[in-house]
């Protein structure tokens, strides 16, 4: 069983935390940490009706957070071979970039076996003109 031990360092601005995991996960900085529970709630338990797409990473769901923010929730599939690498790449590369032509990464969930990325949600027409973070590869 894979195990991810997240240690959230203290004395950081609320919502912007450092994730440290064991194995070959290095420190990931400047990302908001979401609980699996809140993402499950936001996507109505990852219901098929909320699924908006499927990529190399896994399924993507539309969700609404408690504060009303509409998000795209990318759930890493357990079968995804490059998943771990992609997950880290997206976190490390995209988390610090804010650009009008780039999908914004809000944060992630690394809880138990779950690895999930949370982006701002783009409607179909704007998605076509916007570069996804997942286009960044190692």
Ligand X SMILES: Nc1ncnc2c1ncn2[C@@H]1O[C@H](COP(=O)(O)OP(=O)(O)OP(=O)(O)O)[C@@H](O)[C@H]1O
- Confirm whether residue 11 is marked as ligand binding: no
Is there a contact between 34 and 107 (Cβ–Cβ < 8 Å)?
yes
Applying CB under 6 A, the span of 16-24, 27-35, 36-44, 116-124 interacting with ligand X comes to: 116-124
Rounded distance between C-alpha atoms, residue 98 and residue 82, angstroms: 25
Tell me whether residue 3 or residue 101 sits nearer to ligand X (CB atom).
Answer: 101
Q: How far is the CB of 21 from ligand X (least distance, A)?
A: 21
Q: Is 122 in the site for ligand X (CB under 6 A)?
A: yes
Tell me whether residue 12 or residue 47 sits nearer to ligand X (CB atom).
Answer: 47
Q: Is 115 in the site for ligand X (CB under 6 A)?
A: no
Determine the size of the site formed for ligand X (CB under 6 A).
Answer: 16
Provide the 3-class DSSP secondary structure of residue 14: coil
- HSE-up (13 A, CA, CB side) for residue 45: 0
Closest listed residue to residue 6, CA positions, set 16, 25, 14: 25
Residues in the chain: 138
Residues 6+ apart with CB under 8 A from 62: 43, 50, 51, 52, 70, 71, 72, 73, 121
Tell me whether residue 18 or residue 77 sits nearer to ligand X (CB atom).
Answer: 77
Q: How far is the CB of 88 from ligand X (least distance, A)?
A: 14
Q: Is 103 in the site for ligand X (CB under 6 A)?
A: yes
Binding stretches for ligand X (CB under 6 A): 52-57, 60, 72, 74, 103, 119, 121-122, 127, 132, 134
């Amino acid at each position: 069983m894979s195990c991810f031990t997240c240690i959230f360092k203290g004395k950081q601005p609320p919502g912007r935390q450092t994730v440290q995991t064991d194995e070959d996960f290095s420190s990931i900085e400047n990302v908001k940490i979401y609980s699996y529970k809140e993402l499950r709630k936001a996507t109505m338990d990852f219901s098929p009706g909320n699924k908006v797409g499927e990529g190399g990473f896994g399924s993507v769901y539309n969700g609404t957070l408690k504060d009303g923010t509409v998000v795209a929730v990318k759930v890493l599939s357990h079968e995804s071979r490059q998943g771990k690498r992609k997950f880290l790449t997206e976190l490390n590369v995209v988390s610090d970039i804010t650009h009008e032509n780039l999908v914004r990464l809000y944060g992630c969930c690394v809880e138990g076996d779950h690895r999930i990325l949370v982006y701002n949600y783009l409607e179909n027409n704007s998605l076509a003109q916007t570069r996804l973070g997942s286009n960044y590869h190692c």
